[in-house]
């Protein structure tokens, strides 16, 4: 037992040191910056709060985030219900699930441009419908973008819980004489309440802290995220005031994570999951089928433009088919090297991130280390979950500017690992804690050392989860922009930050080509990783 | 009396139930017994009304129920995994149906059920604080409050261990007797079926192998399947128990002439 603890302690301290330098220090620095310039003072807070338009931006952020989060949760619920509670054909269900998660594979900044090119004055949909549906700059544009951005997250959360709801309660409720509404409440809605609230808060958090969408369609509708960006990288950068805005952005984020923790306790747990036969109901299937199709069309129609614009000569004036833009991008060595950077950064993030998440999860799920150690890891996961990417990026700017880490890939990779740590860690912990608790003891009795046991028994059995974690890190590193915008340098450009640059010079054809590249890369990566993960799962079951 | 006439059901062209004919008398306890995949759960679902038959008729006291939806048939079921509502406590689970039909059971009747099933001390507990046997009794009480015309039980004992199994068995018998309630139980355990019910329906590959009283099945098994799959198991058990108690006479296997050794 002593030996086992020693190795795990090494893992523990390695993880601790990493997060001390790259999470705690930057956040403390941020706090200091917000109250310190030649002495302690609250003047920056006072000046930011007193600034013209600050409260409007704050109110705007809250309003738009809340409206989008409610809508996204409702839409996600409708799709998830269609998947779990109807007898629609299997291919249809996989199709709508796929479309519901599709936006995850694209950077948020692309949604903005997709909205401009779909609903704008010369947009694809505007042209098809013959008139502009709404003014895209401002509330409406942000709303559409945020909804699309958060539907996938809300859908995955709801989808996951629905899988674990005992479907037989539907039959019991009917047999007890409940009306449709009561049945819906007791067998579907009530067990989902915690998750629905969780999905709303998660979506709210994402909207509140996202930078990509307001960067493209915000217009004059200022939100906190754009304010922060302008303060830091705008005409007259003011780091102290930037720090204050970052701190203010942190408050609702921390708040929402606290609420999520509390909600966790309200979640209903079914200890058995049983599949009941759903009754035949053509009207139900038709109704949910149509609603899901409408939502899917809505999502796809906005993205359709990404597939159209790069393939025409010059949108919107010359609409003949052309490969020219692709050819240009592929001949542009700068753009190609940016693509290489992205792949490199995503792969490194995925590899190192998976290692760190695995190490941390081993401590909490499969060790006899005392509770203090485990709590420390848990709190790290919680904090990373509550820190918006933009805040992290700004904080890194303060700490690492002027050091040899400034503008390096290493810093960007670590930033991504820290930023996205929470979900991979929880995925790993879940999967490790489900494994037989006696493995280490058994293997040790057979003469294995702890390291050997981990390598020979635990890792092979955790392989499919490890692959999933790898895939999660990879895809997120490909699409993330909020933190990187502050720390990527001229020589460490990645696709998302490049898109932001191209926006300045109005090279939208390239923007869409690059977006397509990201999408294609992510879809291929996802397909390959799922195949690998399933393969591992099957072979280990045999 | 419940009557099933020429019931047929297939899934994707694969027949699961072929021409099932069956009569169940009022107040009788019937067990549907068979190996996994023989169609017993489908039969249960057909009677309950969540699955439609492809062909055939279901009659109850002469009334044709074949196309009557589940909630109008007045039958009720206790699932193997109980399907209790985890957000409600024991008492609220038991009285759940009274919200919809306040007059179906009187207060005294509910109290009587609670005592009969020994749930008095657990009423304010949450579902996840209960043991398997306690959950089973809560689910049974919740269903009984609705005064079902027929009580269906899906593997009621499979998740329970030893002593609790026997006690639940007794409760089921008591309830059926007290309320003169037609009870249909699905099980894969021959011992359970033969000791719990008045008649046993043995199903194999979608057809009825034998439908008779337990004694008759033991002493006059109708075919090879009944002998090999049903009686064989019981005989092994019997011999093990004889061996355990030191009675080594080895009453080997006269029944049906099947050799065990």
Query: So what's the pLDDT on residue B255?
Result: 44
Report the 10 Å Cβ neighbour count for A77.
Answer: 21
Res B249: pLDDT: 53
Write the ipTM: 0.70
The mean predicted confidence, pLDDT, of chain B is 87
Q: Please tell me the distance in Å from B193's CA to the nearest CA on chain A.
A: 24
Name which residue leads in pLDDT, A490 or A268.
A490
Given the DSSP bridges, would you call strands B75-78 and B150-154 parallel, antiparallel or unpaired?
parallel
Nearest by CB to residue A168, choosing from B79, B100, B142, is: B79
In a domain, A43, yes or no: no
Give domain status of residue A18, yes or no: no
pLDDT of residue A164: 82
Residues of A whose CB is below 8 A from B86 = 191, 268-270
Q: Which CATH architecture has domain B1-74+150-220?
A: 3-Layer(aba) Sandwich (3.40)
pLDDT for the residue A2: 45
Q: From B85, which residue of chain A is nearest by alpha-carbon distance?
A: A169
pLDDT of A508 reads 81
Are A402 and A479 members of one domain? yes
Helix axes of A190-209 and A224-233: crossing angle, nearest 10 degrees: 30
Tell me, yes or no, whether A225 and A371 share the same domain.
Answer: no
Q: Are residues A153 and A81 in the same domain?
A: yes
Segment A40-67 shows an average pLDDT of 87
pLDDT digits (tens, 9 = 90+) for A114-159: 888 888 887 888 888 888 778 888 898 899 999 999 999 999 999 9
* B56, B5 Cβ separation under 8 angstroms: yes
What pLDDT score does A541 carry? 47
Q: In the predicted model, is pLDDT for residue B244 greater than 70? A: yes
- Contact list, A178 vs chain B (CB under 8 Å): 100
Which of A177, A179, A269 minimises the CB distance to B86?
A269
pLDDT of A66 above 90: yes
Q: Which DSSP state fits A105?
A: G
d(CA A527, CA A539): 18
A/B interface, count of CB pairs below 8 Å: 65
Residues A402, A485: Cα–Cα separation, whole Å: 17
Among B70, B85, B96, whose Cβ lies nearest the Cβ of A174?
B70
pLDDT in tens, B40-88: 889 998 998 888 899 999 999 999 999 988 888 889 989 888 888 888 8
Measured CA to CA, the distance from residue A322 to residue A325 in angstroms comes to 7
Domain shared by A213 and A344, yes or no: no
Predicted pLDDT of residue B259: 42
Residues A339, A302, single domain; the answer is: no
Contact A73/A274 with Cβ under 8 angstroms?
no
> Cβ B77–A171 below 8 Å, yes or no?
yes
* Predicted local distance difference test score (pLDDT) of residue B57: 93
CA–CA gap between residue A219 and residue A112 (Å, rounded): 11
Note whether A413 and A473 are same-domain residues. Answer: yes
Nearest to A480 by CA among A98, A104, A134: A104
Structure tokens belonging to residue A424: 């991979």
Q: Which residue has the tokens 């933190």?
A: A483
> What distance in Å separates the CA atoms of residue A262 and residue A193, rounded to the nearest whole number?
13
Whether the pLDDT of residue B256 is over 60: the answer is no
Residues B100-116: pLDDT tens digits? Answer: 888 888 999 999 989 98
Distance CA A462, CA B244 (A): 44
Q: Concatenated DSSP letters for chain B? A: -EEEEEEEEEETTEEEEEEEEEEE-TT-EEEEE--TTSSHHHHHHHHHTSS--SEEEEEETTEE-TTS-HHHH-EEEE-TT----TTS-HHHHHTGGGGT-TTSS-HHHHHHHHHHTT-GGGTTS-GGGS-HHHHHHHHHHHHHHT--SEEEEESTTTT--HHHHHHHHHHHHHHHHHTT-EEEEEES-HHHHHHH-SEEEEEETTEEEEEE-HHHHHHS--SHHIIIIIIHHHHHHHHHHHHHTT-TT-----GGG----
Whether the predicted pLDDT of B248 surpasses 80: no
- Please tell me if residue B96 touches chain A, with a CB cutoff of 8 Å: yes
A283 close to B (CB below 8 A) = no
Interior CA angle at B223 toward B219 and B227, to 5°?
Answer: 60
Q: What percent of chain B has pLDDT over 70?
A: 94
Q: Is the pLDDT of residue B247 over 80?
A: no
On the question of pLDDT at B3 being above 80, the answer is yes
Residue A104 inside a domain? The answer is: yes
pLDDT score at A414: 95
Q: Kindly state whether A270 is in contact with chain B, defined as any CB-CB distance less than 8 angstroms.
A: yes
* Domain assignment of residue A383, given as a range: 334-542
Tell me the β-bridge partners of A36.
A40
Residue A22 CA to residue B125 CA, distance in Å, equals: 47
Lowest mean pLDDT among A138-152, A497-511, B118-132, B175-189: A497-511
Q: Domain boundary at A309, A324, A345, which? A: A309
Angstrom distance (rounded) from CA A510 to CA A507: 6
**Is A182 within 8 Å of chain B by CB?**
yes
Does B97 contact A166 at a Cβ distance shorter than 8 Å?
no
| Nearest-angstrom CA–CA distance, B250 and B243 | 8
Contacts of A177 by beta carbon, 8 Å cutoff, 6+ apart:
B71, B97, B100, B101, B146
Q: Is the pLDDT of residue B241 over 50?
A: yes
Asked if B100 and A178 come within 8 Å (Cβ–Cβ), the reply is: yes
Q: What is the CA radius of gyration of chain A?
A: 24
Mean pLDDT score of chain A, rounded to an integer? 86
Asked if A121 is an interface residue toward chain B (Cβ–Cβ < 8 A), one would say no
Does one domain contain both A212 and A147?
Answer: yes
Are A83 and A231 in the same domain? yes
Q: Which helix (H) or strand (E) holds A73?
A: helix A54-84
Q: Both A72 and A205 in a single domain?
A: yes
Residue A6 within a domain: no
**pLDDT given at position A99:** 92
- The CATH number of the domain holding residue A441 is 1.10.3720.10
State the pTM of this model: 0.81
Q: Which of A256, A276, A309 is the last residue of a domain?
A: A309
Phi, psi (5° rounding) for residue A98?
A: -65, -45
Which two three-digit tokens encode residue A155?
């859908």
Q: What is the pLDDT of residue A348?
A: 96
Q: Is the peptide bond before A316 cis (omega within 30 degrees of 0)?
A: yes
From the list A165, A485, A2, the residue with the least C-alpha distance to B87 is: A165
> Does residue A478 sit in the same domain as residue A542?
yes
Q: Is pLDDT above 90 for A220?
A: no
Number of domains in chain A: 2
pLDDT average, residue stretch A66-72: 96
What are the strands, taking DSSP E only, across A13-92? Answer: none
Comparing CB atoms, the residue among A176, A276, A279 nearest residue B97 is A176
- Cα Rg of chain B (Å, integer): 20
Hey, are the CB atoms on B83 and A191 less than 8 Å from each other?
no
Closest CA to A522 of A153, A98, A101, A105: A105
Q: Could you tell me which chain A residue has the CA closest to the CA of B42? A: A277
Residue A3, both tokens:
């030996």
pLDDT of A502 higher than 90:
no
Whether B52 contacts chain A with CB within 8 A: yes
In chain A, residues with a C-beta closer than 8 Å to the C-beta of B100 are 176-179, 182
Counted residue by residue, chain B has a size of 261
Residue A536, pLDDT above cutoff 70: no
DSSP state of A102: G
**Residue carrying structure tokens 């579907």:** A188
Between chains, do A176 and B50 touch, taking CB under 8 Å as contact?
no
Provide the edge-to-edge strand list for the sheet that holds B55-60. Answer: B14-24, B2-11, B55-60, B63-64
- Average pLDDT on A56-78 reads 94
Which of A272-281, A439-448, B168-177 ranks highest by mean pLDDT? B168-177
> 3-class DSSP state for residue A313?
strand
Domains in chain B: boundaries: 1-74+150-220, 83-147, 223-261
pLDDT at B243: 87
Residue A272, chain B, CB below 8 Å: the answer is: yes
How would you classify the pairing of strands A312-314 and A318-321?
antiparallel
Residue A522 lies in a domain: yes
Residue A270 shares a structural domain with residue A403: no
Neighbouring CB atoms inside 10 A of A196's CB total 19
Answer whether residue A401 is part of any domain.
yes
What pLDDT is attached to residue A539?
59
Min distance B69 CA to chain A CA atoms (Å): 10
What is residue A50's predicted lDDT score, i.e. its pLDDT? Answer: 82
Q: Which of A268, A274, A277 sits opposite B87 (nearest CB)?
A: A268
Above 80 in pLDDT, residue A542?
no
Chain A residue with the nearest C-alpha to that of B78: A172
User: Residue A476: its pLDDT value, please?
Assistant: 94
pLDDT in tens, A447-497: 777 888 888 888 888 898 999 999 999 999 999 988 888 888 888 889 988
Indicate whether A47 pLDDT > 90.
Answer: no
Q: Which of A388, A384, A416, A381 lies closest to A487, judged by CA?
A: A416
A268-288 average pLDDT score:
74
**pLDDT grade for B121, boundaries at 50, 70 and 90:** very high
**Contact yes or no for A393/A486 (Cβ under 8 A):** yes
Q: Is the pLDDT of residue A275 over 80?
A: no
Q: What residue of A is the nearest CA neighbor of B74?
A: A175
What is d(CA A2, CA A9) in angstroms, rounded to the nearest whole number? 11
Is B80 in the A-facing interface, judged by CB distances under 8 Å?
A: yes
Domain identity same for A267 and A364: no
Please list the alpha-helical segments (H only) found in A236-332.
239-266, 282-308, 324-331
Neighbours of B107 (CB within 10 A): 9
3-state DSSP call for residue A508? helix
Of the candidates B85, B34, B87, which has an alpha carbon nearest to the alpha carbon of residue A173?
B85
Cβ–Cβ below 8 Å for B128 and A166: no
Distance from CA of A175 to the nearest CA of B (A): 5
Helix (H) or strand (E) holding A312: strand A312-314
**Residue A467 pLDDT:** 94
- Strand, helix or coil for residue A114: helix
Q: How many percent of chain A have pLDDT more than 70?
A: 95
Check if B51 contacts A (Cβ < 8 Å). yes
Confidence at residue B168, expressed as pLDDT on a 0 to 100 scale = 85
Residue A35 lies in a domain: no
């Amino acid at each position: 037992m002593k030996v086992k603890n020693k190795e795990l302690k090494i893992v523990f301290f390695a993880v601790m040191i990493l997060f001390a330098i790259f999470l705690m220090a930057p956040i403390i620095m941020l706090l200091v910056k917000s109250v310190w310039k030649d002495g302690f003072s609250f003047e920056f807070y006072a000046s930011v709060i007193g600034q013209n338009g600050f409260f409007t931006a704050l109110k705007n952020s809250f309003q738009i985030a809340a409206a989008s989060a409610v809508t996204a949760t409702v839409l996600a619920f409708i799709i998830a219900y269609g998947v779990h509670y109807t007898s629609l054909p299997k291919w249809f269900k996989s199709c709508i699930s796929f479309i519901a998660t599709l936006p995850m594979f694209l950077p948020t900044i692309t949604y903005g441009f997709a909205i401009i090119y779909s609903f704008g004055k010369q947009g694809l949909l505007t042209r098809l419908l013959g008139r502009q549906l709404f003014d895209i700059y401002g509330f409406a544009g942000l709303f559409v973008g945020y909804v699309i951005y958060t539907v996938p997250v809300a859908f995955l959360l709801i989808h996951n819980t629905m899988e674990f709801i005992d479907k037989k309660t539907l039959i019991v409720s009917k047999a007890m004489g409940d009306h449709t509404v009561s049945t819906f409440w007791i067998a579907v809605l009530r067990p989902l309440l915690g998750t629905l609230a969780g999905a709303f808060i998660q979506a709210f958090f994402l909207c509140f802290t996202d930078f990509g969408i307001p960067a493209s369609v915000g217009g004059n509708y200022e939100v906190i995220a754009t304010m922060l960006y302008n303060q830091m990288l705008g005409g007259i950068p003011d780091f102290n005031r930037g720090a204050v805005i970052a701190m203010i952005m942190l408050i609702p984020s921390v708040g929402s994570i606290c609420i999520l923790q509390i909600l966790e306790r309200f979640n209903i747990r079914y200890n058995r999951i049983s599949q009941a036969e759903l009754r035949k109901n053509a009207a139900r299937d038709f109704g949910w089928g149509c609603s899901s199709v409408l939502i899917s069309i809505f999502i796809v129609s906005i993205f359709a433009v990404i597939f159209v614009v790069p393939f025409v000569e010059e949108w919107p004036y010359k609409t003949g088919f052309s490969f020219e833009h692709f050819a240009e991008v592929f001949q542009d060595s700068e753009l190609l090297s940016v693509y290489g950077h992205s792949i490199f950064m995503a792969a490194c993030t995925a590899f190192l991130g998976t290692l760190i998440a695995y190490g941390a999860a081993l401590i909490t799920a499969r060790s006899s280390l005392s509770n203090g150690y485990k709590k420390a890891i848990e709190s790290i996961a919680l904090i990373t979950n509550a820190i918006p990417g933009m805040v992290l990026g700004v904080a890194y700017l303060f700490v690492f500017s002027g050091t040899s880490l400034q503008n390096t890939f290493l810093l960007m990779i670590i930033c991504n690992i820290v930023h996205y740590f929470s979900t991979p860690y929880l995925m790993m912990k879940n999967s490790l804690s489900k494994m037989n608790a006696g493995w280490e003891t058994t293997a040790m009795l057979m003469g294995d050392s702890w390291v050997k046991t981990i390598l020979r028994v635990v890792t092979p059995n955790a392989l499919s989860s490890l692959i999933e974690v790898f895939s999660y890190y990879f895809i997120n590193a490909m699409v993330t922009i909020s933190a990187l915008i502050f720390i990527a340098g001229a020589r460490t450009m990645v696709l998302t930050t490049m898109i932001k640059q191209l926006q300045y010079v109005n090279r939208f054809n390239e923007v869409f080509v690059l977006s397509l590249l990201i999408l294609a890369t992510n879809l291929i990566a996802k397909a390959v990783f799922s195949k690998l993960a399933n393969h591992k799962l099957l072979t280990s079951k045999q | 009396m419940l009557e099933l006439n020429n019931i047929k059901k297939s899934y994707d062209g694969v027949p699961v139930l072929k021409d099932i004919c069956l009569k169940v008398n009022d107040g009788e306890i019937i067990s549907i017994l068979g190996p996994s995949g023989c169609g017993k759960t489908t039969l249960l679902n057909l009677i309950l009304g969540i699955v439609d038959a492809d062909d055939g008729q279901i009659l109850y006291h002469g009334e044709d129920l074949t196309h009557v939806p589940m909630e109008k048939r007045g039958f009720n079921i206790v699932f193997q995994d109980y399907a209790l509502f985890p957000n409600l406590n024991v008492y609220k689970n038991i009285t759940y149906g009274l919200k919809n039909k306040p007059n179906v059971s009187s207060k005294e009747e509910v109290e009587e059920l609670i005592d009969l099933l020994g749930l008095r001390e657990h009423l304010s507990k949450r579902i996840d604080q209960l043991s398997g046997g306690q959950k089973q009794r809560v689910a049974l009480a919740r269903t009984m409050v609705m005064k079902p015309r027929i009580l269906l039980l899906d593997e009621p004992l499979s998740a329970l261990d030893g002593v609790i199994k026997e006690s639940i068995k007794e409760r089921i018998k008591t309830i059926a007797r007290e309320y003169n309630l037609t009870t249909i139980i699905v099980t894969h355990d021959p011992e359970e079926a033969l000791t719990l019910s008045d008649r046993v329906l043995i199903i194999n590959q979608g057809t009825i192998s034998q439908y008779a009283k337990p004694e008759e099945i033991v002493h006059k098994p109708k075919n090879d399947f009944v002998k090999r799959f049903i009686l064989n198991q019981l005989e092994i058990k019997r011999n093990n128990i004889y061996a355990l108690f030191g009675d080594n006479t080895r009453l080997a296997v006269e029944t049906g002439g099947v050799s065990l050794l």
